[in-house]
Amino acid sequence: MRISSRRNHMIDFLFPVALLFVFAVSAMIVILFAAGSYEDTVAASSRSDSARTSLAYVTEKVHQNDENGGARLGDFDGHEALIMEQRVDGEDYVTYIYCIDGFVKELFTSKDSDVRAGSGTSILEVKDFDIEKYGEGLLRLTCTDSKGNKATTIVGTRSR
């Protein structure tokens, strides 16, 4: 006859529970680490999105409309604006890019039409957007996005 030497100890219950606790805490740490990492990546991505996207857009617009000295700085309805003139099918058109009410706006209209700055199409929400003349044939664009990230670039108007 065999006599069982196994007896029920407290440790038989406590050790698996402690191990389960360690497992749960480790899982939680990994999840928090993943969330933090993802948050950082998204924050970095949105940082470059807001400020630089608007600069890239305006730079591309200047390159696109830069013919016969057609891109210049000027005044539009009391706001400083980038004015780009172009001729389509014998008719003159103007594209205005300016900042009003916290938005970079664009307005494409016939040269003779009387329009207000408020009727432009909103491109991007920004805190500040500044266009200034920087030397001969150069414009300096500075954009501060709604989160306060600032980006600057320089664009040349080659058709002088």
Using the contact rule CB under 8 A, the part of the chain among 37-45, 83-91, 99-107, 118-126 near other proteins is: 37-45
DSSP 8-state class, residue 101: T
Examine residue 160 and tell whether it contacts other proteins (CB under 8 A): yes
Examine residue 142 and tell whether it contacts other proteins (CB under 8 A): no
Examine residue 136 and tell whether it contacts other proteins (CB under 8 A): yes
d(CA 37, CA 45) in angstroms, rounded, equals 12
Please calculate the CA angle 153-53-88 and round it to the nearest 5 degrees. 90
- Give the torsion sign (CA, 119, 58, 156, 158): negative
Examine residue 69 and tell whether it contacts other proteins (CB under 8 A): no
Residue for token digits 């730079």? 59
Examine residue 155 and tell whether it contacts other proteins (CB under 8 A): yes
* Beta carbon nearer to other proteins, 1 or 88: 1
